[in-house]
Structure formats: C-alpha cells, structure tokens
Amino acid sequence: MTLRISHITVENFRKFRAPVTIDGLTDGLNILIEPNETGKSTLLEALRAAFFVRYGTKNQLTRSYAPHGDSVGPEIQVDFTIDNAPWSLTKRFLKSPSVEVTSPEGRAQGEEAESRLHTLLGSVKDTSTKGDIASWGILGLLWIGQTEALSLTAPGSLVRDTVRSILEAEVGAVLGGPAWNRVHDRVGTQYDQFWTATGKEKGKLTEARKTAEDAQTEAETAKARLQALEENFTALEQARAGLKRASRDIADETDIQTRKDLEKELEIARAAGQILATRRAEKEAATSTVKALTDLQTRHQTALKTHAATEAALTKARDKRRTLATDLVAVREKTSQTKETLEQARLAQRQTRAALAEGQKQHDALRRHKAIAAARTRYAELSRLEQELQQATALSATLIPPEILSELEKHEKRVAEAQARVTVGATRLTLSGDTAAVTFDSQPATAGEHSITRDTTIRVGNTELRLRPPASTASAEQDLSEARRKRDQALEDLGLRNLTDARLRNDKARDATAECRTLQARIDAATPADDTIALKPGPQALKLFIAGLPAEDPQPPAETPDLPALTSAVEHADTTLSKADGTHQSAIEALRRLETEDAPFAAAEAGAQSDLSNATARISELEKHPDFASLNETLAQAGKRAAESAAALEEATRNATVHDQTTIKRKIDTIDARVRTARETCRKLETEIAKLEGTIESEGGKGLAGREAAAREAVEAARAALHRVTEDAETIKLLRNTLEDARRETSARFTGPVAERMKQTISRLMPGSDLSFSEDLALDTLIRGDTSEDCTTLSRGTQEQLAILTRIAFADMLREQGLPVSLILDDPLAYSDDGRLELLIDIIADAAKRMQVILLTCRERAFRHVTANHVSLT
C-alpha cells in the first residue's frame, strides 16, 4: 500500500499564523530546503497533529499549537492518496475543534473520522499529555523529528507487535502472547519465593535450610544435655559401688588385730632403744677419757722435741753471724773513706764552675759596653740624618701641583694675548728731538716710540694735543689689566713673583724629594740590629734603646777573663768527681751484699730465741697438769674401761635392731592411713551421691529424653521439608531458566530477519560489519570483524545513520505487508561526514523508489544537487 501526501496547508499553528502551503508533493523523494527558523519542524509537528492527535484534546500539547498569545483554532489540511485513492483530512484544535476525513468511503467527521484514521494507520488513541510516539503506530517510527534519530530507541510496542506478527508469519513461531505472559509471570513469582534474581537462595529455601540447621542444632543440644544426664546416672552407679567397697574396707577385722600386735611390739622396741642410748653414752664417756689422756701425753712429747730443735737452730744461727761480723766492719770502714773522697771532689767541682760563670759574666759585660758605645755613635749619626731629612722633606713639600702650574701658564698666556691686542689697537707716537717741552698727561715725555692706548693729553708747550685712540683699544687695555690682575693674584697666592720663579721652585722641590729617599736609605743603614744588646733594626728601636740607657754608662771591667783556662778547670773537676762517685758506689754495694747475707741469720736467731722460750713455757705448763704425775697408770685404767663399755654397747645394739621402732610405726601408720582414706572416700562418695541424686532429680524432671527424641524427629522432618523445598526450588529454577532460554532463542529467530534485511545497506555503509537486535527490536550490537560494540557507544553520526537505516528496513518490511508507509526526515544526518552523507542520500533515494520520502533540511549545499522533487513553503 502506498501512502502519498500531496498537499499540506497549515494555519494558526505555532509560528504559522498566516496559512502556509506545500504543494506538489509527489511519489519518490521530495526535498524541502529552507533556512533555519522557517518552520520545517513545525510542519512535521502539524502533520503529526493532523494524523495522530485527537481534535478535541485540550492538553499541554494541543495548547502549544496555538501561536503564542493568540486565542485561535490551529488548523491543518492534508491531501494524500492511499493506493492512488484520494483522501483529505482537515483538523482544527482548541477553538471550535473539528475533524473531517474524506475518503473513497465518503466523508466522516468527529470520532468517526478519528477512528477511520486509526484503522488506516494502525495507531491507537493517544492519551498522553505531551504526545506519545509509541501510540502513533508505524508512522510514529517513520516520521522522524529533528535529532530523534540520534538515540537508538526501540520501536514502540505497537510497531513491535506489528513487526512481530509479520515476522511470526515468516518464521512460524509465536513470541510472547498472553499464555506466555501468564505462565512466565506465574513462574517468575514462584521463582521469587526461592531464588534471588542472580540465582542465590532466598525466601522459602533459605527458611527451610535455616529450619533444618536450627533443628539440627537443637537436637544436638538436646542430645548433649541428655548425654550429660545419662553420665550422671552412670556416675551415680559408680559412686554407689565405690561407697560399698569403701565401707567394706573400714569394717575389715584383720587390720584391727594386726594393729594391736604391732603396738605391743612397739613397746618392746622402745625399751631396747632406751638401753641402747644409755650404753652409747657410757661408751662415749670412756672413749673420751682415753682420748684426753693420750692427748696430754702426746702434747708433752711434742713440746720436748720442739725445745731441742729450736736450741740447735739458735746455736747454728749465732755461729754463722759471728763469721760475717768481721767482714762487715772492714767494709764499713772502706765505705766511710770513699764517702769522704766523694765530698771533696764535689766541692772542687762547685768551685771551678763558679769561677767559670764569673768569667763568662765579665766577658758579656765587656761586649755589651762596646755595643752601647757603638749604638751611641750611630744615634748621633741618626740625629744628623733626620735633621737633614726634615729639611729636604719641607723643601719637597713646596712643589706646585701641575694643574696649578698649568693654570699659571694659562694666566700668563692670556696676559700676553691681551697685551698683543692692546699693542695692535694702540696709537704709536714716535718722539724725537727735544722732548723736554713735551709732556704726556703732565708727565715729561721721553724720546722714542710711544704707544697710546687711552685718552692722552700731550702738551708741547702750550699746545695741548689730545690723543684719543679707538674705543676698542680702551677695552683691550682693560682686558689686559684684568688678565694681569688675575695672574698677579694667582702668583701672590703661591707667594711667587713670576712664572719663572715657580718653575725654579719646582725644580728645587723635585731635587729635595730625591734627597729624601737617599737620606732614608742612609738612616736605615745607620740603624742595624745588634743581638748583643737586644736591639732591633730601625731608627725607632735605636731611639728607644738610647732613651732607656742610664745617664752614666757603668764602668767596664778592668781586665779580660781567661775563659778557656776556666773551662778546662771545670772539666778536670768533673772527671775527678765521677771517679770518686764510682769508688763510693762500689763500696756501698759490697756493704749491702754483706748485710743481705747477714739478715736471714739474724731473723733465724731471733725466731729460734722466741720458739725456745715458748717451748720452755709449754713444757712447764703441761707438767703442771694434775694427771701428769701418774699419767701412764691412769691411761691404762681408762683403756680398760673403754673396752668394757664397747662390748656392752654392741650387745645393746643387737637388742635394739631386733625390735625396729621405725618399721613398726610405719606399719601402724599404713593401717591408719588406709582406714582414714576409706573414711574420707566414703564421705566424698556420699557427698557425690547426694549431688548426683539432686542433679538427676532436677534434670530428670525436665523430660530430657523426651525432648531429645522430639528434637531428633524434628530434624528428620526439617530435613525432609528441606528436601521437598529444594526439589521444588530446583524445579522452578529449571523451568524458569528453560523459559528464558526458549524466549532468547525465539527472539533470536525474530530479530534475525530484521538484521538480514539491514545487512545489505549496512555493508554499503560499513563494509564487513553486521548488526544484532535486542528482544525489543532495538539495535543492540554492531559486529565488525571479530569485535562487537554496544551500539550506544558508537559515534552520534553512526548512531543516527544506523537509526535511519533501521527505520527504512522496518518500513520496507511493513510496506511489503501492505501497510501504508511514508518516511519523513527532519534535518537528518547532521553529524555525517561528506562520504557517509552521499551514501545515505543514495540509500534514501533508493528507498524513495518504494515509498514517498519527504526530507526537510536547512543544508542547501548538501542537498541542492540531489535529484528529487524540490518543493518549497508558500
């Protein structure tokens, strides 16, 4: 079916207050090129209003149709053909709204007219306030407003359903449908009860699992508690058995008899033990008496031995010392002699050294005296030279500086120049002859030439001649006197008579400067350093030295000392002293040797002497002891007693060993301990039994076994429930996933043909690429080679181009199914480069062979050359 719009008139619609008409629209490609702001988009808006917006609607959208500030009835009139049958549509909004459709079926107005349009165009009543493209059917998709193609939106559900029903016929499968929706929704609801969107457990499934786990925990707790109670029963049984055993132990007769016997034995053992102790004491006493006596005897003998030994040692030491004494006397004698000699040599040495020191002193004084005399002579010379230097320095100071001299010379030159000028301007008067009667300004004149430079009165006799030189001469004369005055002033300042004097004076000053240098050198030469008197070089040092001298010089020594002789005497004395010292040292050494030899013998003698007196005292002390007198006899008696008591002890020991108290006591203790332990055990067990009985009574009343059994069954029930729920959940999951898979598969089968249709044009635009569509027929991905891109990430230009191509593909599909299609593009391809633009225009022109295309654009250059029916607004 072809839909061809041939004529459009719009009045009172937005910017079109006055009627605007497009006429002569034909099949194929129609291009309207108009600059911006002329109302191309308004035109498309008007068409949409005419075809899709209900005439009676008064909402935001329709109110926007009225030109701003006007209260009028926007009106659109469209003529079009459907398969060459003429249709006419006139629609008016707001003020006296109306609609009228004229078709081959006749004329219709109002609702009937609207309904005829819906039927024709497959649109539905638009209930939105701003206009809903989705409700406008196919033309909503194909009449593309400015920038609408920039987003890759999915077609509205009406178009989708139309396209799908077409495709279902083609691919032979049903996508969606009410049964699908119902089943799918219901399964989805059930799925939600068990699973999250991402397939994680939730809801009933989680609850069942938790219930099972809780039941398990509960059962374990119950079991543990029951087990604890059971253990109490076991423990109680054991405690009772233990108590029985312990009671038996306490009542045992054997132990009681044994203990009695042991106590009797213990008595006997105790008696034997006492006797043993007595015997042991007796033996102890006897033995110690023997020991004391023996000790006394031994000590006396030892003292005697010591006495004899010390006596021998004393004698020996005394003998030895007698031999050494003679030698000692001789050596001491010698030592005192050598000491005398040494003292004498030391005295001699001191005297000779003193003599030498005195000689040296005199020698030095003499040298100093001479040096001072020389210094005084040099000082006199220095004084003279300094005086001369002072004079020369003064003279050299009179030197006139060159700039002043040059100034003087300038003054002189100026005087000369002024003089010259006077001379030139002056009147020359030469007198000859008798000149007596002649006066010049009352002054007698002289013969010769005169230069008259000022008014001059010359009297010759009574005749008065008045000479008046030219005025310039008078000024020259004045300049001259001024120059002279300045010169003379300058000379006077310097105390000079003339320039020659100045030059002479300068020569003298220069000579004096040279003289100064010479004098300075001479002064330096006259003031050398002199170590003898610790004098430093330079005039200042000399002056200080002289100033520091006493007024009178001391008397110089009378004679010159003989220093070599004195030195020789000192050396002789030193040699003598060394020899004496050596001899004396040797003597002392010999004496020390002898004394060292004698020292031990002296000590031995003293020690022996002391030991001897000690030994003597000891002996007499021991002999005073009361037992000493009859020592041997007493000792024999004591030995006998000791032997007797030893025998008695041996017997007592034997008796005591037979009845060992410790062993018997241990045995008794063992029996006692056994009884004690048994009693204690009984007490403990009784306590424990009471405790356990208490526990069992209190815990037993809680019905732990019953609870445990209940908990165990609850676990089984919960597990079974969990199993059932899991099974249900798995079933629903599988069903839901299978449904999703089936839907995806079917969708792919549906979107395939659309993609197929587009493939050709796409390959013209982007060779080697392919497209895929999402389930709602929106462009999804662009596949280029091995990479696929999300279409929403493509450039705006490419998105727009793809959007237009997609729409052409849909239009073709729908046209083939006999639906009325028409393509209107408002300012399309704004983002396309030139190459793509050309290509797209080609594709659009190609589409225009199959359907009417109206292209509204402001881009004259881009579209002017395109072969098409160019129309304009009138």
Partner 1 sequence: MKVLHTADWQLGKPYGRFTPELRAALTEARFDVIDTLGKAATEHSARHILVAGDIFDTEGPEDRTIVQAVSRMERHPCHWWLLPGNHDFARNGGLWDRVRAKAGDRITILTTPEPRELEDGAWLLPAPLTHRHNLDDPTEAFDTTQTPGARLRIGLAHGSIRDFGSRGETNNQIPPDRARRASLDYLALGDWHGVLKIDARTWYAGTPETDRFQNNNSGHALLVELSPGADPVVTPLRTGRFHWLIRERTVSSAADFDADCAALLSETDAPNTLLQLTLAGITDLTDRVAILAKIENDLAHRLRFLDLRDENLVGRPTENDLAALDVEGTLGIAAQKLNALSQSAGPEARIARRALERLLVEYNREDQA
Letter for the amino acid at 825? L
What tokens does 289 get?
Answer: 């008496």
Name the residue nearer to partner 1 (CB basis): 183 or 281: 183
Contact positions toward partner 1, by CB under 8 A?
A: 168, 173-177, 179-180, 182-183, 186-187, 226, 229, 233, 236-237, 240, 692-693, 696-697, 700-717, 720, 727, 730-732, 734-735, 738-739, 741-743, 745-746
In the bound complex, what is the minimum distance in angstroms from residue 218's beta carbon to partner 1? 11
Q: Say if residues 28 and 4 touch (Cβ distance below 8 Å).
A: no
Distance CA 700, CA 518 (A): 145
In the bound complex, what is the minimum distance in angstroms from residue 185's beta carbon to partner 1? 10
Task: Name the one residue in this structure whose structure tokens are 């008796």.
Answer: 655
Name the residue nearer to partner 1 (CB basis): 433 or 701: 701
Distance between alpha carbon 593 and the CA centroid of its chain, in Å? 84
In the bound complex, what is the minimum distance in angstroms from residue 124's beta carbon to partner 1? 24
In the bound complex, what is the minimum distance in angstroms from residue 745's beta carbon to partner 1? 6
In the bound complex, what is the minimum distance in angstroms from residue 693's beta carbon to partner 1? 6
Nearest by Cα to 699 from 220, 230, 236: 230
Distance between alpha carbon 529 and the CA centroid of its chain, in Å? 73
Task: Name the one residue in this structure whose structure tokens are 């193609």.
Answer: 149
Alpha helices in 441-470 (DSSP H): none
In the bound complex, what is the minimum distance in angstroms from residue 237's beta carbon to partner 1? 7
User: In what helix (H) or strand (E) does residue 185 lie, and over which residues does it extend?
Assistant: helix 178-194
| Alpha carbon separation from 155 to 138, 285, 773, 811 (Å, rounded) | 9, 138, 12, 12
Name the residue nearer to partner 1 (CB basis): 168 or 282: 168
Q: Say if residues 70 and 171 touch (Cβ distance below 8 Å).
A: no
What tokens does 42 get?
Answer: 């308004």
**Residue 849 DSSP class:** T
Q: 10 Å Cβ neighbour count for 29? A: 24
Q: Say if residues 854 and 23 touch (Cβ distance below 8 Å).
A: no
In the bound complex, what is the minimum distance in angstroms from residue 818's beta carbon to partner 1? 24
Name the residue nearer to partner 1 (CB basis): 174 or 312: 174
In the bound complex, what is the minimum distance in angstroms from residue 863's beta carbon to partner 1? 45
Distance CA 816, CA 100 (A): 29
User: In what helix (H) or strand (E) does residue 629 lie, and over which residues does it extend?
Assistant: none
Name the residue nearer to partner 1 (CB basis): 713 or 860: 713
Name the residue nearer to partner 1 (CB basis): 180 or 628: 180
What tokens does 600 get?
Answer: 């031990």
| Alpha carbon separation from 670 to 263, 357, 663, 666, 675 (Å, rounded) | 13, 115, 11, 6, 9
Name the residue nearer to partner 1 (CB basis): 470 or 706: 706
> Rg for the chain (alpha carbons), in Å?
80
In the bound complex, what is the minimum distance in angstroms from residue 725's beta carbon to partner 1? 13
In the bound complex, what is the minimum distance in angstroms from residue 170's beta carbon to partner 1? 13
What tokens does 564 get?
Answer: 């070599």
Nearest by Cα to 547 from 366, 390, 382: 382
Looking from the CA of 803 toward its CB, the CA atoms found within 13 Å total 29
Name the residue nearer to partner 1 (CB basis): 448 or 706: 706
In the bound complex, what is the minimum distance in angstroms from residue 727's beta carbon to partner 1? 7
Distance between alpha carbon 375 and the CA centroid of its chain, in Å? 81
In the bound complex, what is the minimum distance in angstroms from residue 680's beta carbon to partner 1? 24
Q: Are strands 29-33 and 869-871 parallel, antiparallel or unpaired?
A: parallel
In the bound complex, what is the minimum distance in angstroms from residue 739's beta carbon to partner 1? 5
Distance CA 452, CA 428 (A): 6
Name the residue nearer to partner 1 (CB basis): 230 or 358: 230
Name the residue nearer to partner 1 (CB basis): 389 or 729: 729
Distance CA 853, CA 27 (A): 8
Name the residue nearer to partner 1 (CB basis): 182 or 485: 182
Distance between alpha carbon 381 and the CA centroid of its chain, in Å? 84
Distance CA 376, CA 551 (A): 12
Letter for the amino acid at 863? F
Name the residue nearer to partner 1 (CB basis): 262 or 692: 692
Nearest by Cα to 49 from 81, 85, 89: 89
> What's the length of the chain?
874
Name the residue nearer to partner 1 (CB basis): 340 or 727: 727
In the bound complex, what is the minimum distance in angstroms from residue 209's beta carbon to partner 1? 18
Q: 10 Å Cβ neighbour count for 411? A: 20
| Alpha carbon separation from 281 to 275, 575, 756 (Å, rounded) | 10, 92, 136
In the bound complex, what is the minimum distance in angstroms from residue 175's beta carbon to partner 1? 6
Instruction: Give the three-state DSSP class for 454.
Output: coil
In the bound complex, what is the minimum distance in angstroms from residue 692's beta carbon to partner 1? 8
Name the residue nearer to partner 1 (CB basis): 715 or 754: 715
Name the residue nearer to partner 1 (CB basis): 600 or 703: 703
Name the residue nearer to partner 1 (CB basis): 118 or 743: 743
**Residue 515 DSSP class:** H
What tokens does 148 get?
Answer: 């609408």
Name the residue nearer to partner 1 (CB basis): 501 or 730: 730
In the bound complex, what is the minimum distance in angstroms from residue 731's beta carbon to partner 1? 4
In the bound complex, what is the minimum distance in angstroms from residue 241's beta carbon to partner 1? 11
Nearest by Cα to 226 from 716, 689, 711: 711
In the chain the first and final C-alpha atoms are separated, in Å, by 29
Q: Say if residues 611 and 348 touch (Cβ distance below 8 Å).
A: no
Residue partners of 677: CB distance under 8 A and separation at least 6: none
Nearest by Cα to 689 from 248, 241, 246, 249: 241
Name the residue nearer to partner 1 (CB basis): 177 or 495: 177
